Amino acid sequence: MWRQATDTEALRAALSGATVYRQRTLRLFGIPESEIAETLRAAEAEDGSLDGLEITTCLRRGEIEVVTRFGPDAEPRYDALVAAVRERDAGTLCSEGGRTIDQIVADALRADGLTIATAESCTGGLLAGRLTDLAGSSDYVLGGLVVYSNRAKSELAGVDPALIERVGAVSAEVAEALADGARDRLGADLGVGITGVAGPGGGTEAKPVGFVCLSAASADGRRITRSVQLPGGRDDVRDRSTTVAMHLVRRLLHGEGERAPIAA
């Protein structure tokens, strides 16, 4: 009945006259919100105008989402905006087509026929949970280790107890050992290790609440390791850590990372 009602000449004519708005999403990571505002101002100054573009920016799980709506006439202006963002914020622009980082990582793993495994301390399984959010993720997620206790770090993930003793459980070195342990124990192509201080307790002056070390390692010996200071409370730190980890994996899958021995 609905089909009958809509399948009329009159409605088609009315619809054909309507403006069809487009909506496009950019996602950036590792850039403060003020910086993207600056880029928008620069784009406006350069190209004369952002008229006809309805732009909203939003901080979501540690990424900046730039959603733009525009009519067909404004498409060239949108293209100019994207070009400006590409130029100014190249290293941080991670998605132009609206795909989430989760989807980007999943697509890349699938396209390359690679598998992934995790070894998590402060995130307690949330990264594995996030990686397996998507339907069909069993094609590339083999599994993971949640190594909350130091004994579990050593016995399950193979982290040398002497290393933990020497540099502490929250350290770049242990994050790297966890990434290697995840790869090794699960027999995966990629491994990710996370260790940090989620809070509210456990922080020190050198390693305060929000201090998190992450490492992603690939079978060909490449590795990206980062120590970051994340804002917010326990939930924020844990969730944001999984976002940072997803971006390390994305960069590793895009060929970044150095063939280097474990960080000194």
Residues at the contact surface with its own copies, assessed by CB under 8 A? 118, 120, 123-129, 131-133, 135-138, 141-149, 151-152, 155-156, 185-187, 199-201, 234-235, 238
Extended strands (E) in 71-112 = 93-95
CB 259 to its own copies: min, Å: 27
Q: Which is nearer to its own copies, 74 or 197 (CB)?
A: 197
CB 202 to its own copies: min, Å: 8
CB 180 to its own copies: min, Å: 16
CB 188 to its own copies: min, Å: 9
- The strand order across the sheet containing 63-70 reads 53-60, 63-70, 22-29, 93-95
Other Cβ atoms closer than 10 A to 136: 10
Amino acid at 192: V
| Residue 49 near residue 77 (C-beta atoms within 8 A) | yes
End-to-end CA distance of the chain: 71
| Residue 185 near residue 228 (C-beta atoms within 8 A) | no
Buried b (16+ CB within 10 A) or exposed e, 233-260: eeebbbbbbbbbbbbbbbbbbeeebeee
